[in-house]
Amino acid sequence: MKNKLKAYREALGLSQQRLADAVGVSRQTIISIEKGRYDPSLPLAFQLSREFNCHIEDLFIFED
């Protein structure tokens, strides 16, 4: 699954660590999501979308 997490994070001037702290995960988890190596759980995806005040579909792009 592709994502726009890094672009959203950088647009708000958030560090990976600050975002990780805000949603209750490790910095490594944020790095892995941004690099497309890890797909977040649905609850985490909702937390991230709430953090950026956007829809999950704005952050994550599902590909078959």
Question: Is the residue at 37 inside a domain?
Answer: yes
pLDDT band at 63 (very low <50, low <70, confident <90, very high): confident
Structural domain for 37, as ranges: 2-59
**Any domain includes 36:** yes
Provide the CATH number for the domain around residue 23.
1.10.260.40
User: What's the pLDDT tens digit per position in 10-60?
Assistant: 999 999 999 999 999 999 999 999 999 999 999 999 999 999 999 999 999
Domain-located, residue 64? no
Burial 12-26 (b: 16+ CB within 10 A, else e): eebebeebbeebebe
Q: Are 43 and 36 in contact (CB under 8 A)?
A: no
Split at pLDDT 50, 70, 90, the class of 6 is very high
Predicted confidence band of residue 1 (pLDDT cuts 50, 70, 90): confident
Is residue 61 within 8 Å of 2, Cβ to Cβ? yes
Can you give the pLDDT at residue 45? 97
Can you list the positions of beta strands (E) in the chain?
2-3, 60-61
Whether 22 is in a domain gets the answer: yes
